[in-house]
């Protein structure tokens, strides 16, 4: 086929350039919501088990702190703290897996084609879950601080480190394996960390002493840094796959 025929075919079948596209898109009717409404709308898409688990953990913390006098017969502070520490990893697990639910159920492409991008959807859910978990952790710390002889700094380290460990490991697992297998691995991780917290019952008095406070601090900082790194990787992966209808804004 010669060049003239190729050019003729291209000219005959090539779609014409759209005229007045911007005006047409502005007049196009589609659901319009601002970002604040979008954030509140995402509350409906977070599974009810998240809210139930958060409420149960707050209730458990209140029970352990104020309604279990039997625990006061031996090392009450240590027992109360490791009891809470054994439950918080599961809150971390269900929160992190909720973020990756779209990828696990192969819904990323659908959510990525919505009015807001997949990255915006994920960040909205992270913000909601972060606020919920922050409130839960603050309430737990308040309960334990009212009945414990430990300093507030010690309570923060002893209670939250297992939570941060599970968060960092689960984020790494799901950044590498975005499937149901990754979610199962997160569940196993939460179970192992919780079991370790329970097995530490016999050594709670030693582990929760001022001697090991520096080690708890190192673990706290290390896990926080790892979470930041994994969150950055998550955002980068989302940005690489981002495609949406932002041109109609």
Half-sphere exposure of 133 (CA within 13 A, CB side): 22
Is the entire prediction scored with pTM above 0.85?
A: no
Tokens 């352990």 belong to: 64
pLDDT along the chain (249 residues), means of 10: 71 69 66 71 81 88 72 50 80 83 57 63 83 90 82 84 90 78 83 76 65 87 92 76 44
For position 106, what pLDDT does the model report? Answer: 55
Sequence ranges of the domains in the chain: 36-241
Q: Which of 90, 97, 125, 102 is nearest to 183 (CA)?
A: 97
For position 244, what pLDDT does the model report? Answer: 42
For position 173, what pLDDT does the model report? Answer: 85
Max Cα distance, the chain (Å):
96
CB 129 within 8 A of CB 50: yes
Phi, psi of 173 (to 5 degrees): -60, -45
For position 248, what pLDDT does the model report? Answer: 40
Q: Which two tokens stand for residue 194?
A: 């919780």
Report residue 110 CA to chain centroid gap.
21
For position 200, what pLDDT does the model report? Answer: 61
């Amino acid at each position: 086929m010669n060049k003239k025929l190729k050019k003729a075919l291209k000219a005959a079948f090539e779609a014409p350039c759209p005229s007045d596209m911007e005006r047409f898109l502005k007049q196009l009717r589609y659901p319009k919501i601002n970002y604040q409404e979008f954030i509140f709308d995402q509350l409906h898409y977070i599974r009810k088990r998240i809210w139930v688990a958060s409420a149960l953990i707050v209730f458990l913390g209140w029970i352990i702190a104020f309604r279990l006098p039997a625990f006061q017969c031996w090392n009450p502070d240590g027992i109360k703290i490791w009891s809470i520490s054994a439950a918080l990893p599961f809150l971390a697990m269900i929160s992190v897996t909720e973020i990756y639910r779209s990828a696990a159920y192969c819904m990323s492409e659908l959510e990525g084609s919505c009015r807001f991008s997949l990255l915006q959807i994920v960040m909205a859910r992270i913000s909601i879950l972060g606020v919920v978990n922050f409130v839960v952790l603050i309430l737990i710390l308040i309960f334990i601080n009212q009945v414990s002889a430990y300093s507030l700094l010690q309570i923060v380290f002893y209670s939250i480190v297992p939570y941060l460990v599970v968060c960092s490991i689960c984020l790494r697992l799901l950044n590498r394996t975005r499937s149901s297998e990754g979610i199962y691995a997160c569940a196993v991780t939460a179970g192992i960390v919780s079991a370790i917290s329970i097995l530490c019952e016999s050594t709670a008095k030693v582990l929760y002493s001022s001697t090991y406070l520096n080690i708890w601090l190192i673990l706290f900082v290390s896990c926080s840094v790892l979470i930041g790194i994994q969150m950055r990787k998550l955002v980068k992966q989302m940005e690489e796959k981002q495609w949406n209808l932002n041109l109609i804004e």
